Amino acid sequence: MDHSFSDTNPDAESALESLQESLGYRFQDVGLLALALSTLKQPLTPETAAARQRLEFLGDAAWNYALALAVFRAHPQGPPGDLTRRRAAWSSRGGLARLAKRLNLPIPSLAPVGPSQRVLAELLESVLGAIVEDGGFDAICALAARIIGQGGESAARPFVDAKSALQMAALARQEKLPSYRLIEKRGPAHHPTFRVAVTVRGPHGEIRMEAEGGSRQAAEQEAARLALLGLGEPDPPSHNIS
């Protein structure tokens, strides 16, 4: 199978060595790590693309479980909702993207502003899958424990936007996910105003909040913030989204 990361990058061997140091894991079969990073080399053969996607699938599932164990053991008195937030800090798309940068993963230059969170998250998931395939579940558990343990307060209380926090609150209560609906869009095209409503089920029945913003995303964030307050959840830090 053509999964060499090195045949298009003369510095790849050094990059792979540096990445293993960042991961704190030494691969027995470095070809698995090269396969995980093969998305950096385009185009991929169908066989290579499918094999890399299988690693991504494995990494996604294993990382969520490994993080859950690490958070559960690090916070023996933590309530379920708090544990869910701590796990999501590093398992959400944004969390995975932050971790990819923290671990200095080699990244593709797909756009002037760099790769998206989705690209970074999927790249890291494939690397995590390679770790599991190479060293078993204990290897990825060690990484999860290190990430949870090293972050201190910044990892324990990461930035989580209002929509993510509201979703996690619903999951912690085993309720349906929040539902957003655009109510109105008004104003000139160069300066529109969006009004949205969010509906979520709380402990005492359904909660519905409305909010406005300069974009639909900003309005949804504000509506989610209001819904969190209605649920009695902590108010997340404000975050301007235009």
Which amino acids are annotated catalytic? 60, 125
Provide φ and ψ at 78, rounded to 5°: -70, 135
- Cα-based torsion angle of the residue sequence 8, 63, 158, 84 in order, rounded to the nearest 10 degrees: 160
Provide φ and ψ at 28, rounded to 5°: -75, -40
136: left (phi over 0), alpha (psi -120 to 50) or beta: left
C-alpha span between 15 and 92 (Å, rounded): 26
C-alpha span between 51 and 60 (Å, rounded): 15
